[in-house]
Amino acid sequence: MATLKEVLEIAERTNTAIPGFNIDNIEIPEAIMEAAEVENCPVILTIGQGAINAGGLRHLPDVVRRIAESSSVPVVMHLDHSESYEQVIACLRAGFTSVMYDGSHYPFEENVRESQAVVRAAHAVGVSVECELGAISGVEDGISHSNTNLVDLDEVKRFIAVVDSDALAVGIGNAHGIYKGTPNLDFGRLEACRKLGAPPLVLHGGSGIPEEMIKKAISLGIRKINVATEVRLAFMEGLKSAVGSRDIYKMYQAAKAGTIELARTKIRMFQNKE
Ligand SMILES: [Zn+2]
């Protein structure tokens, strides 16, 4: 297992981005690891609020740990969009190597205060932290934030001066879920964040962003890209394609095959491979 900080250093050196894939069951991380090993790329296995609401922290962290133990590539176990200090602490205990604290919908000063507390606790046990500025719109795991999602550069400057986060998710016109039409990403703002000295930048809502936009974002300092919706769709499409077989293992096989293909495509795109 690796921390987020460790894999983002690799991304920084190679001018690439590491994929953060959401996992909702046991078969999805198995499929993703197969893709990551074939492509020989570090990977972030992300446990989000939906998975925690459905199954708590009882099983998935154990599954990820077992998978990571036998993996030939670095694996990060990451908590997505936590809005609770207490949940972060529970995840530190459950063996996560990275946590995201999302205080972006709180008033700025409160986001700073809470993020500082999370960073202090996580860093005490060697766990990385991702924070967020400029709430990312759309719906994630049933949580919808309707704030505008263009990050304020003055807030970035003030935030990074006092919060020692290892990664920063910024709103630049990206959104969770599936885009209606082509997303309108503010690359100038991305470039400005980097010039201010922000930590490695994270792009949420990576599902459905066209390849050329992804590559441009990476060239401007995006080092982690989250893909959730497309993973779920690939898995479910695979299940549906084999539903007539009435064999649950055939269904899983089809679902995993679709997920592996999707993950490989994203990894290659984020790694700038042809
Ligand atoms: Zn997100």
| 205-234 mean pLDDT | 95
Expressed in angstroms and rounded, the spacing between residue 248 Cα and the centre of ligand 1 is 31
Annotate the chain with three-state secondary structure: CCCHHHHHHHHHHHCCCEEEEECCCCHHHHHHHHHHHHHCCCEEEEECHHHHHHHCCCCHHHHHHHHHHCCCCCEEEEEEEECCHHHHHHHHHCCCCEEEECCCCCCHHHHHHHHHHHHHHHHHCCCEEEEEECCCEEEECCEEECCCCECCHHHHHHHHHHCCCCEEEECECCECCCCCCCCCCCHHHHHHHHHCCCCCEEECCCCCCCHHHHHHHHHCCEEEEEECHHHHHHHHHHHHHCHHHCCHHHHHHHHHHHHHHHHHHHHHHHCCCC
Q: What is the CATH number of the domain that holds 33?
A: 3.20.20.70
One-letter amino acid of 101: Y
Expressed in angstroms and rounded, the spacing between residue 58 Cα and the centre of ligand 1 is 23
pLDDT at residue 78 tops 60: yes
Expressed in angstroms and rounded, the spacing between residue 201 Cα and the centre of ligand 1 is 13
Choosing from 80, 102, 141, 166, which is the catalytic residue? 80
What pLDDT is recorded for position 140? 57
What pLDDT is recorded for position 146? 42
pLDDT at residue 134 tops 60: yes
**Each residue's pLDDT tens digit, 48-59:** 999 999 988 989
> How many domains would you assign to the chain?
1
| 80-103 mean pLDDT | 97
One-letter amino acid of 126: G
Identify the sign of the CA torsion 60, 63, 68, 72: negative
pLDDT at residue 135 tops 80: no
Active site residue 80: yes
Helix axes 211-219, 248-270, angle to 10 degrees: 50
Range scoring the smallest mean pLDDT among 54-63, 95-104, 220-229, 231-240: 54-63
Expressed in angstroms and rounded, the spacing between residue 65 Cα and the centre of ligand 1 is 23
Expressed in angstroms and rounded, the spacing between residue 245 Cα and the centre of ligand 1 is 35
Local confidence band at 95 (pLDDT 50, 70, 90 cut-offs): very high
Q: Decide which of 206 and 45 is more confident.
A: 45
Q: What angle do CA 13, 201, 152 make, to 5 degrees?
A: 145
Residues having C-beta closer than 5 Å to ion ligand 1: 204
pLDDT at residue 144 tops 60: no
**Each residue's pLDDT tens digit, 172-213:** 989 888 887 888 899 999 999 999 999 999 999 999 999 999
Whole domain around residue 250: which residue ranges?
4-270
221: left (phi over 0), alpha (psi -120 to 50) or beta: left
Local confidence band at 36 (pLDDT 50, 70, 90 cut-offs): very high
**Mean pLDDT (the chain, rounded):** 93
Expressed in angstroms and rounded, the spacing between residue 170 Cα and the centre of ligand 1 is 10
Range scoring the smallest mean pLDDT among 60-74, 89-103, 116-130, 141-155: 141-155
pLDDT at residue 157 tops 90: yes
Range scoring the smallest mean pLDDT among 41-45, 89-93, 139-143, 223-227: 139-143
Q: From CA 16, how far away is CA 267, in angstroms rounded?
A: 10
What pLDDT is recorded for position 273? 83
Task: Find, among 215, 245, 209, 202, the residue nearest to 230 by Cα.
Answer: 209
What pLDDT is recorded for position 148? 52
Residue 221 near residue 189 (C-beta atoms within 8 A): no
Residue 76 near residue 2 (C-beta atoms within 8 A): yes
Residue 161, both tokens: 């001066």
